Amino acid sequence: MFRGSLGLCEICGARSNTVSSTIGACSRCLRSSNVAALERARKAHSNYRLSLGLPEKPPRTGNTTCRICVNECLIPEGSLGFCGFWTNKGGRLAPITSDPRVGIVMWYYDPHPTNCVAGPVCPANTSRGYPTYTRSRGIEVGFYNLAVFYFACNLNCLFCQNWEHKTVITNDKLRGRYFRTVNELVEEAMDERITCICYFGGDPGPQTLHAITASRKIMMEKNAGSIKRICWETNGLENPSIMRQMAEVSIASGGIVKIDWKAWSPEIYEALTGVDGRKAVERIKENIKLLVDLAERRPEVPLLVVSTLLVPGYVDEYEVGEIARFLASLSNNIPYILLAFHPDNILRDLPPTSKSHALNARSEAIRAGLREIYLGNVWLLGDYY
């Protein structure tokens, strides 16, 4: 049993090791639409973002609108959008690199089999789509995923495992080290040992224009017979027109769009991520419906994979069950990955996910009617609560 400190809900007074004092409210108070509970959580986000020099919330007072994601920031002259990548320069939307062909990005080679969210259904591990979308039956031993990490994100997850991207995006000297052009990325991806290109971060959402341009060039310039699966790991908040473009390159290449759905309840979603939960959840639903429709064009490999991080005390069986029921109402063949949580960033006052929590959440997803449910990061599971 986990013996960590007991967190306090400042609304109802509940104490538990699955209540975060950082958030300041328990899931029951948040889901009851208690205004004070959500305001307490918003304060945690505001304080954190102010310490980084990022907007406290998506701006609404400017004269330039960014429609790349659901936040639809209205950016004042000379200021940043919520993600920290887009700015208002002279009344025009512009990236902080000043050139849309230049991203703030890094990449590295990750050998197959890699610890990918979609690993249980990926052609590199499962032979799905062989021989069109994978080089071999079984694991693609000797080949690599080009892991492409985009700095910046349109969420403010208190538990982010890659939170350093915020310190890079807000530091002039640091971020300059990671300026990379579309052509540099394309050249790297041409290595014949690379069979996957996976965009993640942060989140690729704010820099999808850079990634989509690179992906199209990769598909045009690759050698005949080469396999270059284009995959995305994203929160799913992109403008649907952009999501369609992302999906198109994945469909053509044998790749997968992995959407990380944080929570079903808007209040829980906002408490964890710092953005309007109602708008976010509706946008995720919209994009998932879009992907389910597009997936019919390529049944050999799943186009869509959905994941949810099992945050103790907040993303419980109810959250998982409602997400799973929505997915099953569209298609019971959508792979659903339940990920174990590890305390990180400023949400370090919660334990890792308990094994019982993960197994109960999985059972709830099965009851909802989904056929493919997997547990990820199982080495983190234990007897914590």
Encode pLDDT of 214-261 as tens digits.
Answer: 999 999 999 999 999 999 999 999 999 999 999 999 999 999 999 999
- Structural domain of 368: 102-380
- Determine the pLDDT at residue 278: 98
Residue 5 forms part of a structural domain = no
The answer on pLDDT for 105 being more than 70 is: yes
Closest CA to 361 of 327, 323, 333, 334: 323
**Mean per-residue pLDDT, 14-18:** 96
Q: Give the helix/strand (H/E) hosting 224.
A: none
Contacts with 249 (C-beta within 8 Å, 6 or more apart), sequence order: 212, 215, 216, 219, 230, 255
The answer on pLDDT for 338 being more than 80 is: yes
Residue 23 forms part of a structural domain = no
- The model's pLDDT over 138-160, given as tens digits with 9 standing for 90+, comes to 899 999 999 999 999 999 999 99
Residue 2 forms part of a structural domain = no
When the pLDDT of each residue in the chain is averaged and rounded to a whole number, the result is 96
The gap between the terminal CA atoms of the chain, to the nearest Å, is 6
Q: How many domains does the chain have?
A: 1
Residue 93 forms part of a structural domain = no
The percentage of residues in the chain with a pLDDT greater than 90, rounded to a whole number, is 96
Tokens (6 digits) for 147: 């892991």
User: Domain with 284 in it: what CATH number?
Assistant: 3.20.20.70
The answer on pLDDT for 314 being more than 70 is: yes
Contacts with 179 (C-beta within 8 Å, 6 or more apart), sequence order: 97, 102, 103, 104
Residue 56 forms part of a structural domain = no
Contact indicator for 212, 38 with CB cutoff of 8 Å: no
- The model's pLDDT over 46-85, given as tens digits with 9 standing for 90+, comes to 999 999 999 999 999 999 999 999 999 999 999 999 999 9
The answer on pLDDT for 4 being more than 70 is: no
- Determine the pLDDT at residue 5: 80
Residue 90 forms part of a structural domain = no
The answer on pLDDT for 2 being more than 70 is: no
Distance CA 46, CA 19 (A): 20
The percentage of residues in the chain with a pLDDT greater than 70, rounded to a whole number, is 99
- Determine the pLDDT at residue 115: 84
- Determine the pLDDT at residue 273: 98
The band of 128, judged by pLDDT with boundaries at 50, 70 and 90, is very high
Residue 8 forms part of a structural domain = no
User: Other C-beta atoms within 10 Å of 47: how many?
Assistant: 12
**Mean per-residue pLDDT, 189-194:** 97
The answer on pLDDT for 7 being more than 60 is: yes
Residue 160 forms part of a structural domain = yes
